Amino acid sequence: MTETQPQPQSQTPPSTPAPLHWKLVVDAADPHAQADFWAATLGYLVEDHSVLVERLLGFGAVPPEVTVESHGRRAWRDAAAVRHPDDPYDKDSGTGLGRRLLFQRVPEPKTVKNRLHIDVHTGDGRREAAVARLTGLGAAVLREVKEQGGEWVVMTDPEGNEFCVH
């Protein structure tokens, strides 16, 4: 009779999936105006996709009707994005590879409260000035909140999407 010895337990931890790259996509009536607002709000850059757009136009791969001029360059008519200025981007397409917001044109208007929203953190003592600056950019104050957990201002962007300023 052969005796079976217990096998040692593996010390290798279970495999963890690699982190996923993501972007937040926001439906919009005017993606370029929304990109301009959020770039100014967050200190982000409006992505420049003109190299890709011009290349695809040159190949005849896309018709001119799917493009517009924005910031003096060719852009997609129905989409615009903003990215954090310190994050990498693809030089061939202009697409951000880090923190970014993509605004895509949709035919229907916003009708209900957002289920997901952005919180903007201004730092100690700077909320009031930030709210004034954002109002000047086209945002509106919905309400001021003062709870045990903190204080913040609920605002809407120019298309009515809620966000909070802390």
Q: What residue spans define the domains of the chain?
A: 21-108, 117-166
Q: Helices marked H in the chain — which ranges? A: 31-42, 50-59, 127-136
> Can you name the residues that pair with 104 across neighbouring β-strands?
27, 79
- The pTM of the full predicted model, rounded to 2 decimals, is 0.87
* 77, two tokens: 């008519």
pLDDT of residue 115: 87
Q: In angstroms, rounded to a whole number, what is the distance separating the alpha carbons of residues 26 and 24?
A: 7
Tens-binned pLDDT, residue by residue, of the chain (166 aa): 555 555 556 566 678 898 888 899 999 999 999 999 999 999 999 999 999 999 999 999 999 999 999 999 999 999 999 999 999 999 999 999 999 999 999 999 888 888 899 999 999 999 999 999 999 999 999 999 999 999 999 999 999 999 999 9
Please report, for residues 118, 125, 133, the alpha-carbon distance to residue 128 in angstroms, rounded to integers and kept in the order given: 18, 7, 9
C-alpha span between 127 and 69 (Å, rounded): 35
pLDDT at 161: 96
* Whole-number Cα distances in Å, 1 to 5, 6, 7, 8: 13, 16, 18, 22
| Cβ(145)–Cβ(157) below 8 Å | no
The domain 117-166 having CATH identifier 3.30.720.110: the answer here is: yes
